[in-house]
């Protein structure tokens, strides 16, 4: 976890930070860009772009392979990045493995559990059989739904879910009521990418561990935006993506608590993660290398480490406070507009810097076109959460998501344009 001095994100400070992001000065719609889609992909500061470029041009080599100097330098950068990421999320370096992205990391956990099941693991906590249960929520991103659907199909386990209400919100009480002696895995998002709901992770972990179940956390919307200590939370596995936290695409992080990492078999096998191979047998390295088959995107990993350095320098507490305030501003503003239905927690209830809305009489894609014409880059669609949208009775919502470079003026501009969408289409 970062120990950097936390400096409040004043308007002056935000403008200083914005100068680090070249794309924010662009005008893709021929008007000033208002980037409110960081929940999908964040922008990258010069410091990250330069770190990745420097590695590619000065230290690029295969890691953990060559005996030459350049390979040694590349390996040092690679492993130092692991140390940085571990510190950032309160983990040990041996608990941090690289993945293609968070989706890949979540799939890896489910596939490893399936492999453990086939291998008839001696660890009973990894055994998932017919009659066992896997618990998720109805609000999950598909990346934290489909792997568990498949695991249930393969093992005969029952997939259960915590239902959401008419606003897309689920409660701790509803989740705790579904955790039983049959529960083997509980998988949930720390923060919903649609509603901004902040999950009661500690309560879920305590209840799950009391019955011997594993807890897998989708931390894509939390790690980039607030201080997160995975070991303190007590989760067994977690996943998050570089491209949502100022870093490059194509690299994600898989956290496996020490005990689970040692017990799980790898989901993928190949070069770099073995000690001995014969024509009929193989022995794997210990974690984290056990889960890193093949050549990794080292330059992107170095860029991710630079993103962590940047976030720590700004201060995660300051970033979190800024985004919580923007989330409340978004929620209160959207809820006050006639014909706009706010999804998720109501104004006054803590939410992340995310607000999704339904515009009465107007499809989300049409609303997005009006916003885009004014330079506002907001997300429209089902946000890879079709079951949640089906529960809400719509095919899509319009989502604004903030980050450290988002200003109050940008939020107000979004709300102002949003307030005119229904009139534009004659729906008011």
- Element (DSSP H or E) covering residue 399: strand 397-401
The side-by-side arrangement of strands in the sheet containing 34-36 is: 34-36, 376-381, 397-401, 354-359, 340-343
Query: Do residues 36 and 377 lie in contact, with contact meaning Cβ atoms separated by under 8 Å?
Result: yes
Indicate the burial class of 125 (C-beta count within 10 angstroms; 0-12, 13-18, 19 or more): middle
Please state, in angstroms and rounded to a whole number, the distance separating the CA atoms of residues 284 and 115. Answer: 14
Query: Do residues 135 and 129 lie in contact, with contact meaning Cβ atoms separated by under 8 Å?
Result: no
How many other β-carbons are positioned within 10 Å of the β-carbon of residue 65?
Answer: 13
Active-site annotation holder among 172, 206, 269, 384: 384
- In the chain, the N- to C-terminal Cα span, in Å, equals 49
**384 an active-site residue?**
yes
Please state, in angstroms and rounded to a whole number, the distance separating the CA atoms of residues 64 and 80. Answer: 13
Residues with a known catalytic role: 384
């Amino acid at each position: 976890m970062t120990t950097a001095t936390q400096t409040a994100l004043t308007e002056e400070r935000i403008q200083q930070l914005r100068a680090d992001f070249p794309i924010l000065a662009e005008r893709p719609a021929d008007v000033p860009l208002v980037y409110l889609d960081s929940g999908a992909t964040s922008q990258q500061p010069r410091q990250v772009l330069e770190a990745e470029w420097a590695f590619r041009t000065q230290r690029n080599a295969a890691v953990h392979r060559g005996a030459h100097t350049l390979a040694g330098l590349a390996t040092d950068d690679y492993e130092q990045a692991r140390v940085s990421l571990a510190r950032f999320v309160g983990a040990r370096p041996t608990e941090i493995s690289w993945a293609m992205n968070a989706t890949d990391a979540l799939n890896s956990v489910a596939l490893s559990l399936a492999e453990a099941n086939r291998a008839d693991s001696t660890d009973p906590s990894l055994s998932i059989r017919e009659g066992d249960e896997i618990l998720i929520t109805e609000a999950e991103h598909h990346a934290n739904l489909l792997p568990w659907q498949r695991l249930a199909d393969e093992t005969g386990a029952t997939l259960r879910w915590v239902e959401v209400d008419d606003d897309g919100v689920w409660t701790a009480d509803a989740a705790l009521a579904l955790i039983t002696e049959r529960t083997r895995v509980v998988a949930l998002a720390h923060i919903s990418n649609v509603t901004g709901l902040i999950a009661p992770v500690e309560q879920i972990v305590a209840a799950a561990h009391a019955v011997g179940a594993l807890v897998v956390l989708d931390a894509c919307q939390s790690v980039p935006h607030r201080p997160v200590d995975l070991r303190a939370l007590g989760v067994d596995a977690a996943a998050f993506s570089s491209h949502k936290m100022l870093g490059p695409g194509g690299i994600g992080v898989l956290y496996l608590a020490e005990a689970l990492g040692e017990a799980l078999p790898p989901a993928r096998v190949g070069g770099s993660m073995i000690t001995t191979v014969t024509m009929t047998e193989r022995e794997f390295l210990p974690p984290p290398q056990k889960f890193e088959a093949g050549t990794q995107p080292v330059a992107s990993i170095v860029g991710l480490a630079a993103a962590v350095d940047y976030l720590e320098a700004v201060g995660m507490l300051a970033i979190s406070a800024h985004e919580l305030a923007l989330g409340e501003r978004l929620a209160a503003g959207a809820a006050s507009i006639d014909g706009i239905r706010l999804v998720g927690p109501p104004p006054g209830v803590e939410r992340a810097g995310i607000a999704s809305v339904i515009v009465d009489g107007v499809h989300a894609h049409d609303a997005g076109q009006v916003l885009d014409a004014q330079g506002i880059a907001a997300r429209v669609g089902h946000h890879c959460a079709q079951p949640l949208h089906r529960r809400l009775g719509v095919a899509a919502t319009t989502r604004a998501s903030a980050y450290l470079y988002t200003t109050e003026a940008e939020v107000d501009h979004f709300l102002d344009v949003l307030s005119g969408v229904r009139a534009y289409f004659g729906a008011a």
